[in-house]
Structure 1
Amino acid sequence: MNQRILTELNKEPNKTKQYVILVAVLLGAFIWSLSALNFNAMDEGGGKIAANILKGIVQPDTNLLFNGTKQGVPYLLFETICIAFLGTIFGAILSIPIAFLMAPSIMPKPVYLFMRAFVVVIRTIPALVYGLMFIRVTGPGPFAGVMTMSLTSIGMVSKLYVDVIEEIDTGILESMDSFGCTTFEKIRFGIIPQLIANFTSITIYRFDMNLRDATILGLVGAGGIGAPLIFAMNSYRWNQVGSILIGLIVLILIVEVVSNYLRGKLVNG
Structure 2
Amino acid sequence: MNKQIEKAYEERPRNTVYQVTVSAIVLALLIWSGSAVDVSKTGLSGVQIAGNILSGIFHPDGKLLFNLTLQGVPYLLLETVCIAFLGTIVGAFLAIPLSFLSASNLMPAPIAYVTRLVIMAVRTIPAFVYGLMFIRVSGPGAFTGLLTMSVCSIGMVSKMYIEAIEDLDTRILESLDACGCNTFQKIRYGILPQLIPNFASTVIYRFDINLRDATVLGLVGAGGIGAPLIFAMNSYRWNEAGAILVGLILLVLMVEYISTRIRVKLARG
Normalising by structure 1, report the TM-score. 0.90
Partner of 1:40, secondary structure, is coil
2:109 paired with 1:105: no
Aligned to 1:264: 264
* SS of equivalent residue, structure 1 residue 140: coil
User: Which AA in structure 2 matches 1:75?
Assistant: Y
Indicate how the Cα distance of structure 1 residues 36 and 188 shifts in structure 2: closer, same or farther if over 3 A, else same: farther
Query: Aligned equivalents of 2:4 and 2:179: distance in 1?
Result: 54
Root-mean-square deviation (CA, aligned residues, Å) is 2.6
**After superposition, where does 1:18-97 map in structure 2 within 5 Å?**
29-97=29-97
2-structure distance, mates of 1:103, 1:266: 23
Distance 1:14 1:169 in 2: 48
Q: 1:260 to 1:59 in 2, by over 3 A?
A: same
| 1:177-196 Cα deviation digits (max 9, x unpaired) | 22232222111111010010
Which stretch of structure 1 is more off in the superposition, 22-31 or 38-47? 22-31
2:189 corresponds to which residue?
A: 189
Corresponding residue for 1:127? 127
Q: For the residues of structure 2 that align with 1:225 and 1:231, how far apart are their CA atoms?
A: 10
Sort the Cα spacing of 1:191 and 1:43 in 2 relative to 1 into closer, same or farther, 3 A.
same
Cα distance in 2 between the residues matched to 1:46 and 1:223: 29
Identity %: 60
| Residue 234 of structure 1: aligned partner | 234
CA offset at residue 106 of structure 1?
Answer: 1.3
State the AA in 2 paired with 1:101: L
Say which SS state the counterpart of residue 198 (structure 2) adopts: helix
| Structure 1 unpaired stretches of 5+ | none
Amino acid corresponding to residue 121 of structure 2 in structure 1: V
Q: CA deviation at 1:4?
A: 9.8
What residue in structure 1 maps to residue 143 of structure 2? 143
CA separation in 1, counterparts of 2:28 and 2:175?
A: 57
Q: How far apart, CA to CA, are the structure 2 residues paired with 1:26 and 1:98?
A: 43
Measured at CA, do residues 10 and 259 of structure 1 come closer, stay the same or move farther in structure 2, by a change above 3 Å?
A: farther
Structure 1 Cα separation of the partners of residues 173 and 15 of structure 2: 46
Deviations 1:113-150 (A, max 9, x none): 11111111111111011001001100000000011001
The residue type paired with residue 241 of structure 1 is: A
Unaligned runs of 5+ in 2: none
Q: Distance in 2 between matches of 1:259 and 1:143?
A: 24
Residue 198 of structure 2 aligns with which residue?
A: 198
Which residue identity lines up with residue 110 of structure 1 in the other structure? P
Per-residue CA shift, 1:18-66, capped at 9, x if unaligned?
8777766655554444343323232332222111111111211100000
Distance 1:185 1:21 in 2: 64
1:156 equivalent in alignment to 2:159: no
**1:215-268 deviations in whole A, cap 9, x for unaligned?**
000011000000110111111111100000000000001111111111111012
Change (3 A) 1:42 1:107: same
Query: 2:235, 2:3 → 1: CA distance?
Result: 76
CA distance in 2, matches of 1:10, 1:240: 66
Residues 60-82 of structure 1: per-residue CA shift (max 9 Å, x gap): 11000000101000000000000
Secondary structure of the residue aligned to 1:41 is: coil
User: Shift of the alpha carbon at 1:97?
Assistant: 1.1
